Amino acid sequence: MKNRVLSIVGILIALQCLSNSVFVEHKILVLDAFNVIEQQIPKKSKEISKDRTVKYFGKYHPMPIVNVKPEGWLKEILTRQKDGLGIHHAESGYPFNTCLWAGTIPTLKNVHTPSWWPYEQCAYMVDGLYRCGLAIGDTVLTNLGQRNHDFILNNPQDNGQLGLSLINNTQWPFTVFVRSLMANYDASHNPAILDALTKHFLSLHNDKWDGRDVCIIESMCWTYSHTKDKRLLAKAEHIWADFQTQKSKTGTVFKLANMINSDSVHGHGVTCAELGKQPAILYLYTGKEVYKKAAEGFFKALIRDHMLVDGVPSSALTEMENLGGKHAESPHETCDIIDYSWSMGYLLQATGNSDWGDKIERCIFNAGFGAISKDFRSLQYFSSPNQIIAASKNPISAKEHLEYGDRWAYRPGGEPACCSGNVHRMFPNFLSGLWLSDNENGIVASQYAPNVLHAKVGKNQVDATVSELTNYPFYGKIVFKLNVSKATKFPFTFRIPEWAEGATYSINNGKSIEVKAGGFHTINQVFKSGDEIVLNLPLQVKKETPVAGGVSLTRGPLLFSLNIKEDAKPISYQLKTSANFPAWEIKPATAWNYTLSLKDMFEKSDIKVVESKLSGFPFDTDNSPIKLIVQGKPILKWNSTKVSPSLPNADFETGEAQSLELVPSGSTRLRLSIFPIELGK
Ligand SMILES: [Zn+2]
């Protein structure tokens, strides 16, 4: 009976979306919508903005995603994304089996969720898939994005607002969607996008701005940066000022004075990641120090109180999806991996502090890869640095209709569906953040991965291509090969991570020059085609103590975890699964309850870094080219049926020492990354 009801719902969805697609096609065929919108914009708005310049106060500028092409492992994961849940996004279930933003998303009967939910979820999906398409040149995905963009641009409301009137009560879903329009503009330079967005922003109300609605500031400032229409910047500042007057729980956390003081932060993980960056964005265009200090102070507190060892703040322990402190058993929501790393990019642009780049890498390489199956056919909603089961009953109670299964299970889709959409933004956003530009026509290598950059450099805006050849983060050697249409002087800046003591670089096989760890280094000279810069970042194994009584090992940006072998079975009791896209119940097939003999290990240097030649995809489970062999002992009475067990008391008994194999955390689905410390060690 249940299945029958579901299939009827499926048919209704298909019919409704079909009618929407026909409608969309009709509109595209009959109207040249871009011209129509162009005519609707009063000439005055363009005249007002004439002769005005946009001052930019950030240290670095973002690089359009179309300028950076992935290579190596990064191209592989983006291709797996496309071939996996990208093209097959309907496998993630409702609302991704609908028309997305190209029409009205049907509601599910008997499931009472806020009406904006499916629009938020589909906005994540459209943004992620469109950017993935741009990244790897896949027209199926870019056409999907374009179809959604066209529908929204072609169907403004009478007052100029974009998006359907049924979600008029919140700007949050549109805030998410507009990021894909921003990417479209980067690729197309279509002025209709700027005109339509200007009309939209100017039509918005003036007061009672609160919660995630305030995040519309991001795209408002972005549009200002392209149109020079100062009304948008004024409105963005006004929205933040109005938010400051709100007496809600969220409003209190984001009072500027509290942010600057790094007062303790509480609230929803996504809300904090998204709202915390807004003052940094306002700083980029106003230069007001108070905004920059607020964003820095806020994230300092967030990191101080909630950062987990795999690079993402916790966002569920006692309260669903809320910041949950630093505990060995703390998990995070997958949305936070994406939103947090996206926010860090703005902090980096505003401050030029290389630490934000370190944090983005740590987040993506560890928590990011850890939350997905490496074939990009399933993902987790919640994930943890210590995760010994990925299917057991969720220990946090949830409303029944929201919980089709366990949020720790790897599955193609779940409820709520936010993470299933948002996960598609992870690698495209990481790609676009690899490079920045500076205020002197130079380029900045901000994070590292194999890619090719195309940019204009120097005073005369000469065409330049930089091929970044590397197998980072597994190896520390990064080679930049330059090709310029004409020899020209420009600053070439690269990041030296905080952990990279003894880092060196050389130009054209010249003298090796040591550079200080923890900052950006600039070479400002005339570059010609064929020039080569080789950067060597020493990857040393380091010991960290992320929680009381626990210890972790890192090597550069990679966190290392016990390689727990999987007993993995496809599960059929969840709704959003199919034969080709199963959900998984994963239990440990080998022991996980170990302590590391750390003191001995570090004194005797009996840790072995085993390097093998990179073959295939280095984040595939059991295919890492780097492994650590360390000494450890089983903890005799440490048992648990939980996803993420509490650490035992320090007076635990141990068995015989043995060699353990640790692998990059991101390559695992079951892992122990925080090891209990034995008393007296
Ligand atoms: Zn989510």
**What are the boundaries of each domain within the chain?**
435-536, 541-676
pLDDT at 444 over 60: yes
Å from CA of 8 to ligand 1 middle: 27
> How far does Cα 233 stand from its chain's mean position?
26
| Section 266-293 average pLDDT | 97
Å from CA of 130 to ligand 1 middle: 19
pLDDT at 362 over 50: yes
Question: What is the amino acid identity at position 433?
Answer: G
Contact between residue 358 and residue 557 where contact means Cβ atoms under 8 Å apart: yes
Please give the class, per CATH, of domain 435-536. mainly beta
Å from CA of 609 to ligand 1 middle: 36
The whole-number pLDDT of residue 396 equals 43
Å from CA of 340 to ligand 1 middle: 12
Å from CA of 337 to ligand 1 middle: 9
pLDDT band for position 640 (cuts 50, 70, 90): confident
Å from CA of 360 to ligand 1 middle: 18
The whole-number pLDDT of residue 605 equals 59
Q: Express as a percent the part of the chain with pLDDT over 90.
A: 80
Å from CA of 254 to ligand 1 middle: 22
pLDDT band for position 447 (cuts 50, 70, 90): very high
Least confident of 3-7, 500-504, 601-605: 3-7
pLDDT 10s digits, 491-543: 999 999 999 999 999 999 999 999 999 999 999 999 999 999 999 999 999 99
Å from CA of 169 to ligand 1 middle: 21
Å from CA of 114 to ligand 1 middle: 15
Please give the Cα distance from 302 to 241 (Å, whole number): 22
pLDDT at 652 over 60: yes
Summary mean pLDDT of the chain: 89
Å from CA of 530 to ligand 1 middle: 45
Å from CA of 423 to ligand 1 middle: 8
| Section 311-340 average pLDDT | 91
pLDDT 10s digits, 154-208: 999 999 999 998 888 899 999 999 999 999 999 999 999 999 999 999 999 999 9
Å from CA of 459 to ligand 1 middle: 44
pLDDT band for position 12 (cuts 50, 70, 90): very low
Å from CA of 95 to ligand 1 middle: 14
The whole-number pLDDT of residue 113 equals 81
pLDDT band for position 52 (cuts 50, 70, 90): low
pLDDT at 218 over 60: yes
pLDDT at 41 over 90: no
The whole-number pLDDT of residue 602 equals 54
CA 665-667-671 angle, to 5 degrees, is 45
pLDDT at 11 over 90: no
Task: Note the pTM of the prediction, 2 decimals.
Answer: 0.91
| Section 651-675 average pLDDT | 96
Cα Rg of the chain (Å, integer): 25
Å from CA of 361 to ligand 1 middle: 20
Please give the Cα distance from 377 to 424 (Å, whole number): 11
| Section 207-227 average pLDDT | 97
Å from CA of 121 to ligand 1 middle: 9
pLDDT band for position 599 (cuts 50, 70, 90): low
Å from CA of 299 to ligand 1 middle: 20
The whole-number pLDDT of residue 167 equals 87
Å from CA of 418 to ligand 1 middle: 4
Q: Tell me the β-bridge partners of 198.
A: none
β-pairing, 558-563 vs 332-333, is: unpaired
pLDDT at 298 over 50: yes
Least confident of 151-155, 284-288, 319-323, 349-353: 319-323
Å from CA of 422 to ligand 1 middle: 7
Å from CA of 417 to ligand 1 middle: 7
- First-to-last alpha carbon distance for the chain, in angstroms, is 60
Question: Half-sphere exposure of residue 392, counting CA atoms within 13 Å on the CB side?
Answer: 15
Of residues 391 and 1, more confidently modeled: 391
The secondary structure of residue 11, as a DSSP letter, is: H
Å from CA of 678 to ligand 1 middle: 36
| Section 366-373 average pLDDT | 98
Å from CA of 386 to ligand 1 middle: 20
Å from CA of 627 to ligand 1 middle: 31
Contact between residue 533 and residue 491 where contact means Cβ atoms under 8 Å apart: no
Å from CA of 123 to ligand 1 middle: 13
pLDDT at 618 over 70: yes
Å from CA of 174 to ligand 1 middle: 17
Å from CA of 233 to ligand 1 middle: 30
**Element housing 524 (H / E):** strand 519-527
pLDDT 10s digits, 110-166: 777 888 999 999 999 999 999 999 999 999 999 999 999 999 999 999 999 999 988
Å from CA of 137 to ligand 1 middle: 27
Å from CA of 356 to ligand 1 middle: 23
Å from CA of 674 to ligand 1 middle: 24
Å from CA of 380 to ligand 1 middle: 9
Residues 449-479: b if buried by 16+ CB within 10 A, e if exposed: bbbbbbbebbeeebebebbbbbbbbbbbebe
pLDDT band for position 642 (cuts 50, 70, 90): confident
Please give the Cα distance from 642 to 5 (Å, whole number): 34
The whole-number pLDDT of residue 361 equals 98
Å from CA of 334 to ligand 1 middle: 6
Å from CA of 321 to ligand 1 middle: 8
Å from CA of 232 to ligand 1 middle: 30
Q: Tell me the β-bridge partners of 411.
A: 379
pLDDT at 655 over 50: yes
The whole-number pLDDT of residue 17 equals 44
pLDDT at 37 over 50: no
pLDDT 10s digits, 378-427: 999 999 999 999 975 544 444 444 454 578 899 999 888 999 999 999 99
Q: Is 191 exposed, middle or buried (0-12, 13-18, 19+ CB in 10 A)?
A: middle
Å from CA of 483 to ligand 1 middle: 41
Å from CA of 419 to ligand 1 middle: 3
Please give the Cα distance from 373 to 204 (Å, whole number): 41
